[in-house]
Amino acid sequence: MALTKKRCYPSGLESFMNDEQITSVVEHWPRFITLEAKLSEKQTKPLTKVSPFLIQKGIQGVIGTPKSVKKLKSGALLIEVSKKQQSSSLLALNTLADIPVIGKIHSGLNQSKGILYDRDHDLDDIPEQEIQSKLESQGVISVKRFMKKRNDNIEATNTYLLTFCSPTLPTNIKVGLYVMKIEMFVPNPLRCFKCQRFGHGQSNCKGNDTCFRCGEEGHDGKGCQKDLKCKNCKGDHMASSKQCPIWLKEKEIQKVKTEKRIPYPEAKKLVNMYTVPKPNLPSYSTVLKASSKKDSSTQVCENDLSQQTSTSNVPLSSNDNSKAVSPPTSASPTTVGTPKSVAEATSKPAAAGLTKLSGRQNRSPSKYTQKQSSDRLRKGSHDPVALHTKFGIFL
């Protein structure tokens, strides 16, 4: 009998993690590698400027076909691999198509961060380092507890930031015997404290000193008493306000970047693609007004049509085999204007009110409606005034 090899995982992982998450935790290795050229007198071009066919030949000769390859703004290549051997080969690579290169582990994409809400305050008296050591078997490499300021006092909260050693964020984590939910962590937008713009830090800023309070250049905002004006959206608030439309947009960019695990420029393009209004399309209010006018005009036309067709004549179907109804011997005083003979009554066709026009014009009476009218006549609807008023039939 053949024996199958069973994979052994840390105790309890299979109860709240799927196979992909367990594999990412147990078999941890970097999946995102950056390759950059060693610039020198002989090599003056970064890898992003080298022929793409030459890059393809060099990479496939070393690791085969990778999962994805993207260009970075710095001139390096971001390579995502699907096998551990591919990752090790890229990190040990010295030359690529006769170009001296160096491979590095990407600092952010090989990790994932999640939020743990300790609603029952089970971890209040446990230090962060001890929590990390107890959760290390589940891929946790860092634990940070959020603090908040209240009345000039710094207080600890029940919210923890957990950093995992894999790019796949688990949905749950086991804390002792309890299973707690992990939510995705979306960082706040990066705002430069020098020029007050978003997307870069103060160390990489090439702009001028700008006040975060009034938005004017030339001072940093300390002691400024001018009116509030945002540098980014020109609104009456400071550049650090979380109600700023630009800040909200940057927050959405950070969310897309975290969810799709893509660089900031790509996430910004996606957000701009779906948030830019389409000038050629009418607004919702315009469509609503147009539809309301159309409905009212249609209703008026239907009313006019029903009034006109109530006096018009539609011939009865020749397929109606109902028996002829004899006229009353004496006309009632209320039957003013009724015909004097059966010939006159049958020569005057029934009104179009016999068929109810439901928003359609020039609709001929159906066989079902004609048969229904003849059945009502057979059953003894003897009041000629009521018949004329309701069905437009003369007796």
22-50 pLDDT, tens digit each: 554 445 788 899 999 998 888 888 999 99
Report d(CA 181, CA 183) in Å as an integer: 7
Instruction: Tell me the average pLDDT across 79-96.
Output: 91
Residue 118 near residue 160 (C-beta atoms within 8 A): yes
CATH of domain 112-184: 3.30.70
| Full strand arrangement of the beta sheet holding 172-175 | 140-150, 153-164, 112-117, 178-184, 172-175
Distance CA 53, CA 50 (A): 9
pLDDT at residue 9 in the model: 40
Q: For residues 283 and 139, which has the higher predicted lDDT (pLDDT)?
A: 139
Looking at residue 328, its pLDDT comes to 47
> Torsion-angle region of residue 204: left (phi > 0), alpha (psi -120 to 50) or beta?
alpha
8 A C-beta contact, residue 240 and residue 228? no
User: In the chain, where are the structural domains located?
Assistant: 31-105, 112-184, 202-275, 308-328+337-391
| Residue type (1 letter), 85 | Q
Could you give the CA distance from residue 31 to residue 54 in angstroms, rounded to a whole number? Answer: 23
Can you read off the two tokens belonging to residue 26?
């147990």
Q: How confident is the model at residue 92 (pLDDT cuts 50, 70, 90)?
A: very high
pLDDT average, residue stretch 142-168: 90
pLDDT band at 248 (very low <50, low <70, confident <90, very high): very high
pLDDT exceeds 80 at position 101: yes
* Whole-angstrom distance, CA of residue 31 vs CA of residue 22: 15
Please say whether the beta carbons of 100 and 94 come within 8 A. yes
162 pLDDT higher than 90: yes
pLDDT of 230 reads 92
pLDDT, average across residues 111-131: 93
Evaluate whether 31-105 and 112-184 have a shared fold: yes
Closest CA to 170 of 17, 9, 26: 17
CATH number of 31-105: 3.30.70.330
Q: What are 100's strand-pairing partners? A: 95
Q: Are strands 95-96 and 178-184 parallel, antiparallel or unpaired?
A: unpaired
Give the model's confidence band at 109: pLDDT under 50 very low, under 70 low, under 90 confident, else very high: confident
pLDDT band, residue 347 (cuts 50/70/90): very low
What's the whole-model pTM score? 0.54
Least confident window among 127-136, 293-302, 332-341: 332-341
Q: Span 156-175, mean pLDDT?
A: 91
